[in-house]
Amino acid sequence: KRPVGAPDRSLARPVTKVGVVGAGLMASQLALLFARRLEVPVVLTDIDQARVDKGVGHVHEQIDMLLLKGRVGQDQANRLKALVTGSLDKATAFADADFVIEAVFEEMGVKQQVFAELEAVVPEHAILATNTSSLSVTEMASRLAHPERVVGFHFFNPVAVLPLLEIVRAEQTDDASLATAFAVSKKLKKTSVLVKDAPAFVVNRILTRFMGSVLGSIDEGTDIATADRALAPLGLPMSPIQLLELVGPAVAHHVAGTLHAAFPDRFAVSPNLTRVVTAGKRAFYVHDSGRPELDPEVLALF
Ligand code: 3HC
């Protein structure tokens, strides 16, 4: 069954090589997913060799984990490791790429710069995708000679586990690019939904409302441990603060900032979250013992 709003799948173009820009945790999860499900070469790139090596190293760790769990055999593990490579030379690596996704720092200027660099090296038919959490895909594409090839491809953490994929149609996206995005999503075995190019799309707007309510009650004086435990009887897969840690304080803060800028009367940025991000904290819990405990250093910031 064709997803709502998806163009005719006969318009989709083949994807035989994938590029991933940015070699952070999200990017390395994406690289493995594309290699595993599309079974095509995937090239990971970043701004320096150390980052590229770290990204490829993380892909190898994930493959070793799949092997350990018996999810893939030794042959497939070897094949996957061979499919995912790193490179600093985008011009060569992406000269025959059909689909390149960026997962770099969440800043419009940085992402526009990445797309401009990509447009100069990828083939004319290549799709440029962004995994942005909340930024306008239309604006990101606006400076390109061929903005019709740009789509939003927004995954959810952990990428290998969560089935949802938001596909964002920018104002300029054409049917062939969108059809290709849906075809790729199907091969990735994701459940894709077409969403409007609106601040934080659909899911992050809802999640930010939820997280904003929890953080708001903490900002107003509720003890963080109490707020974190209060929803446990609802049977959510993880507590609000665990979810905030999984998303990453900086990303959550960024999404809240985007939504606050777009809808100042509807979304606030939590001063406590701002303090956590300013302090450079990436986690809310210490995971030393079997059971994670709220980090006293974070508690001291609240
Ligand atoms: N990274 C990678 N894989 C992970 C992981 C992580 N951080 N945490 C868990 N997993 C894997 C496990 O390895 C396991 O895989 P397996 O089946 O191959 O063994 C699988 O997930 C299930 O894990 P567990 O059995 O240990 O634990 P749970 O059943 O409690 O599931 C969970 C863990 C899937 C993370 C679940 O708690 C969950 O769904 N939480 C909500 C996550 C969520 O809402 N994510 C969306 C965040 S918003 C977002 O990402 C958008 C962005 O723009 C901000």
So what's the ipTM on this one? 0.96
Pair type for strands 164-169 and 150-155:
antiparallel
133 Cβ inside 6 Å of ligand 1: yes
Cα Rg, the chain, nearest whole Å: 20
Half-sphere exposure of residue 191: CA atoms within 13 angstroms, side-chain side: 4
With a 6 Å cutoff on the Cβ, whether 156 touches ligand 1 is: yes
Assess whether the C-beta atom of 222 lies below 6 angstroms from ligand 1.
no
Q: What is the pLDDT along the chain (302 residues), one digit of tens a residue?
A: 788 888 999 999 999 999 999 978 899 999 999 999 999 999 999 999 999 999 999 999 999 999 999 999 999 999 999 999 999 999 999 999 999 999 999 999 999 999 999 999 999 999 999 999 999 999 999 999 999 999 999 999 999 999 999 999 999 999 999 999 999 999 999 999 999 999 999 999 999 999 999 999 999 999 999 999 998 889 999 999 999 999 999 999 999 999 999 999 999 999 999 999 999 999 999 988 778 899 999 999 99
Question: Is the same domain home to 23 and 163?
Answer: yes
Decide: 69 in ligand 1 pocket, CB within 6 A: yes
The pLDDT, as a whole number, for residue 169 is 97
Three-state SS string across 24-75, please? CHHHHHHHHHHHHHHCCCEEEECCCHHHHHHHHHHHHHHHHHHHHCCCCCHH
Do 252 and 209 lie in a common domain? yes
Distance 157 CA to ligand 1 centre (A): 7
Q: Is residue 1 part of a domain?
A: no
Q: CB count, 10 Å around CB of 11?
A: 16
Dist. CA 84 → ligand 1 center (Å): 23
Q: Range of 278's domain?
A: 204-299
Provide the CATH number for the domain around residue 113: 3.40.50.720
Check which CATH number belongs to the domain holding 268 and give it. 1.10.1040.50
Of 196, 231, 253, which closes a domain? 196
Q: Which protein residue's CA is at the shortest distance from atom 10 of ligand 1?
A: 158
154 is catalytic: yes
Write down the pTM of the prediction. 0.95
Tell me, yes or no, whether 36 lies in a domain: yes
Residue 23's pLDDT is what? Answer: 78
Instruction: Say what the pLDDT of residue 114 is.
Output: 97
Residues 78 and 46 placed together within one structural domain of the fold: yes
Query: What separation in Å is there between the alpha carbon of 285 and the centre of ligand 1?
Result: 16
| CA distances from residue 36 to 32, 43, 102, 158 in whole angstroms, order as listed | 6, 13, 18, 15
The CB of 231 under 6 Å from ligand 1? The reply is no
Would 161 be classed as within a structural domain?
yes
> Distance (Å, rounded) from C-alpha 243 to C-alpha 141?
30
Which of 196, 212, 246 is where one domain is finished?
196
Residue 246 Cα: closest atom of ligand 1: 7
pLDDT of residue 70: 97
Domain end position, chosen among 150, 169, 196: 196
Query: Which pLDDT value is given to residue 1?
Result: 75
Tokens standing for residue 288: 């030393």
Task: Report d(CA 1, CA 3) in Å as an integer.
Answer: 6
155 and 210 belong to one structural domain: no
Q: Tell me, yes or no, whether 166 and 45 share the same domain.
A: yes
243 lines ligand 1 (CB under 6 A): yes
> What are all long-range contacts of 39-42, with beta carbons under 8 Å and residues at least 24 apart?
39/83, 40/15, 40/16, 40/83, 41/17, 41/83, 41/84, 41/85, 42/17, 42/18, 42/83, 42/84, 42/85
Q: Which of these is catalytic: 58, 125, 154, 253?
A: 154
Do 203 and 156 contact (CB within 8 A), yes or no? Answer: yes
Are residues 233 and 177 both part of a single domain? no
> Dihedral sign, CA of 46, 52, 54, 57?
positive
Residues 186 and 248 in one domain: no
Rounded distance between C-alpha atoms, residue 243 and residue 251, angstroms: 12
Ligand 1 centre from 265 Cα, in Å?
32
Query: Cα of 7 to ligand 1 centre, how many Å?
Result: 31
Specify the amino acid at residue 144: L
**What tens digit of pLDDT does each residue of 86-107 get?**
999 999 999 999 999 999 999 9
Count of domains in the chain? 2
Q: Which atom of ligand 1 is nearest to the CA of 157?
A: 50
